[in-house]
Chain A
């Protein structure tokens, strides 16, 4: 690619000018280059490459800010390492901010100062997005969602056929001909969303959640028009596209007149809609939004579902999805659920808000050009799982399921990878359970 043009540079620098509050200026000016964040980053831990440390990523973004918006950076750029926004800088940004960061936020929690490193990486991604430099692979995933309504471009007829097939599975499993997967029904309590990976690759996770709703006697529906919980524009940094995708789900809530939107097991999807979308849209949601993890935990607390503690005998461990846990606050609910029926549960070390990313976040699974790097950093998760001695890894995130499944094959771990809904559905006690 040739040198950046003036318009690209202007658009790239806009992120430093349109400030909503003091957050960006604060974090751009806070890093002291102590470098102590390195050991909190899976990229550095796995590769020992100094170029991949969080501090280098922060400095890359901050160096551009210094060059154009600070006195010292304007007049003595070399003295404070203030860099021009040119092709060389932008290419390095693409490699480090898209190709070497899952935006897991682990470094942020451990930063000696408190710099929100993941936030600055996202700001850097927004700069690149403004300049039209999002990796083509990631952008094509966003484009699919924008153009077709779901990031896997699944046609509506195909989706409906999958749901009907899963409904038959559900009827067999619960032994009740009245069991169903409701589609586009108005006035239900819950509108449930899906990660498009479910209808495409893991349809049994749809029937698993449907089985839980059935057992709880829930009033729910799926939309066949807008069901995609993901929002890859959050990772690409394109706010306009992120807003468009979020707005569609909001509209569907209105169309179907549901009371609560339940977000499927998807870390970034939950984060992008529950926490980020109201800010893209500059409006509070007029409806309740909760994750399926909270929903299942509530069913257990309210006695709506019962789980058989004798059903799962294997050792089980839990992978905490970064966006759900570290940036979403869902830390205890999944543990509460597993505590109800898993006899042999072993935590990973570290876990909870300290857990290591699986390596598939931040859009990495969509960016095939970084596959080698992604599988290299995955070794940390593989070792972490092996140390638990678990045979089943549960994670409430389809993105993580995908990466963990690849880890399972790549490192020959011999595991079963399950979503939370799947393992709960396996242990459900039903009234009409077939003989």
Chain B
């Protein structure tokens, strides 16, 4: 193992320990107890929370902001892909060309999406006022992680830079807003619980039978 891989390994350890603290706290605090009489099914609603309620046609945050929404989806897909590739690159697995040529350009596109989201944050006053340095750093770390993954796949170069950048990303993950990757699932669960208990989700279509 090279020195830069040791650095990344250390970062991964710190990331896992701190992420586990977040996760264990969520588990320890547990699910809500509701003393009111339920009007619906929580399990169906939680399922809906992760599926139907995420439908872009149901959310103004998606359908009123389609370019940002599409960029965000590509960006997140690029992130998940880069994370999976990180372990393959770590293990020294060489991807066949047939995979590299769709994957690497996709990562360049997702990099561009990340940059687009970053530029939007810088340019739009409303977003800029809402942002802290954490928002910019989180974006930069993930966006360049994707770019470096693409470069390593395509050119097989800048490997030490790739591992150091990955190490920084892992190190920062549990401390800034990137930790939403953990809390997102809990948020969807709680939302599903809230709306399910009260019989609001899964949403039924409003039907009319005439006057």
Contact = CB atoms under 8 A, between A and B. Distances in A.
B200 A283 contact: no
A26 B187 contact: yes
A361 to B, nearest CB: 17
Interface stretch (A15-23, A228-236, A364-372): A15-23
A329 B199 contact: yes
Contacts of B61: 34, 36-37, 40, 110-112
Interface in B62-101: 62, 64-65, 68-69, 72
Nearest to B18: A71
Contacts of A335: 206, 208
Interface of B: 22, 25-27, 29-37, 39-40, 49, 53, 59-62, 64-65, 68-69, 72, 124-127, 129-135, 175-177, 179-180, 182-184, 186-191, 194, 198-200, 203-204, 206-211
A332 B211 contact: no
A35 B36 contact: no
Interface of A: 19-23, 25-27, 29-40, 50-51, 53, 55-56, 59, 71-72, 78-81, 108-116, 119, 274-279, 281-285, 289, 309, 326-329, 331-332, 335, 338-345, 347, 351-353
B186 A116 contact: no
B132 A284 contact: no
Contacts of B188: 113-114
Given A26-B183, A112-B62, A114-B191, A50 B209 contact: no
B35 A284 contact: yes
B59 A110 contact: yes
B208 A113 contact: no
Contact of B180 (A25, A29, A345): A29
A25 B22 CA distance: 10
Given A30-B187, A36-B64, A278-B36, 13 more contacts: A20-B33, A22-B26, A22-B186, A25-B29, A39-B64, A110-B59, A113-B180, A113-B184, A114-B184, A116-B187, A276-B36, A331-B206, A344-B211
Contact of A33 (B32, B130, B210): B130
B140 to A, nearest CB: 14
Contacts of B59: 109-112
Contacts of B182: 29
A19 to B, nearest CB: 6
Given A22-B29, A26-B190, A33 B206 contact: no
Contacts of A40: 60-61
Given A27-B187, A278-B36, A331-B200, A351 B179 contact: no
Nearest to A37: B61
Given A20-B32, A22-B186, A278-B35, A114 B49 contact: yes
Q: Most chain-A CB neighbours within 10 Å: which of B40, B68, B198?
A: B198
A282 B35 contact: yes
> Which 9 residue pairs are nearest across A and B when measured between Cβ atoms?
A81-B132, A278-B35, A36-B61, A22-B29, A329-B199, A50-B126, A26-B186, A112-B61, A343-B211
B204 to A, nearest CB: 7
B130 A59 contact: yes
Contacts of A21: 29-33
A108 to B, nearest CB: 7
Contacts of B177: 31-33, 80
A79 B211 contact: no
A51 B207 CA distance: 38
A338 B211 CA distance: 7
A116 B126 CA distance: 21
**Chain A contact surface mostly:** loop
A23 B40 contact: no
Contacts of A26: 26, 183, 186-187, 189-190
A36 B59 CA distance: 10
A229 B186 CA distance: 33
A31 B187 CA distance: 10
25 contacts: A22-B25, A22-B26, A22-B30, A30-B184, A33-B135, A38-B126, A39-B60, A39-B64, A39-B65, A55-B130, A72-B176, A78-B132, A110-B61, A112-B72, A114-B53, A278-B34, A285-B37, A327-B200, A331-B200, A338-B211, A339-B209, A340-B211, A342-B211, A343-B211, A353-B203
A58 to B, nearest CB: 10
Nearest to B39: A329
Contacts of B53: 114
Contacts of B186: 22, 26, 30
B60 A110 contact: yes
Contact of B134 (A23, A72, A109): A72
B76 to A, nearest CB: 11
B187 A114 contact: yes
B7 to A, nearest CB: 21
A275 B126 contact: no
B35 A113 contact: no
A277 B179 CA distance: 33
Nearest to A50: B126
A30 B68 contact: no
Nearest to A24: B29
A279 B34 CA distance: 6
Nearest to B31: A21
A289 B35 CA distance: 13
B32 A23 contact: yes
A341 B211 CA distance: 6
B211 A309 contact: yes
A281 B35 contact: yes
Contacts of A338: 211
Contacts of B190: 22-23, 26-27, 114, 116
A39 B126 CA distance: 12
